Amino acid sequence: MIFGLFRFDWTILLLVPGILFAVWAQIKVQSTYKKYSSYPTRRGITGAQAARRILDQNGLSHVRIEHIRGHLNDHFDPRANVIRLSDAVHDSASPAAIGVAAHEAGHAVQYAKKYLPMKFRALIIPATRFGSVMAIPLFFIGLIFAYEPLMLAGILLYAAIALFQLATLPVEFNASRRAMVTLRGSGMMNEDELGAAREVLTAAALTYVAALVSSLLTLLRLVILAGGRRRN
């Protein structure tokens, strides 16, 4: 019975579209960033300066900006109240860098204004962290030994991961929208430069969509496997 589980598993093919989408999204964001990071904006404002202006305009002078090593690993840390900008963004005056920096400042504004989707996403982070480590092992242990409670636990934990990815979309889209509205109103960039920043943020958003698609396809696979095991 156990050996029958190791026959070709067609459900693994469900993961292929998600993998391809994720790879394409990563290539898209890297190529778009490279395209619009090769020249400075007319006013020569750096990513760090743009983020600082947005923060100050929103009464967030207490939020710090730090320069970190790396490439496009920029993020806002709400626990430390700090925006960390990578080598490619902090001192660059390109439309791409300003777009990314403004996006992270948008997250800081969300946190200050207690943006509901961000609060919900933070609420499910513990379950997501546990699920990312335990969901798949629990499920397949349950599958091998035909123990439905373990399979169900694995499915529920992975569902929490998918829910986190779903909650991430409005958080990321809203941060980008806030960034573009602020940049347009600030006069830091002209229309062509704003269009370039928007393209970079749109490409970045595709990576979050790809993550959601991949997690949903994985969840579907687990449900199908569990159903097939139950029938057997």
- The label of the residue with tokens 């123990």 reads 147
The CB density around residue 79, as the number of other CB atoms within 10 Å, is: 5
Known catalytic residue: 148?
no
CA–CA dist 56, 153 (Å, integer): 46
Single out the catalytic residue among 104, 172, 193, 199.
Answer: 104
Q: Please report, for residues 72, 88, 199, the alpha-carbon distance to residue 34 in angstroms, rounded to integers and kept in the order given.
A: 11, 10, 12
Give all strands of the β-sheet with 82-85 in edge-to-edge order.
64-67, 82-85, 75-77
The CB density around residue 135, as the number of other CB atoms within 10 Å, is: 24
Residues annotated as part of the active site: 104
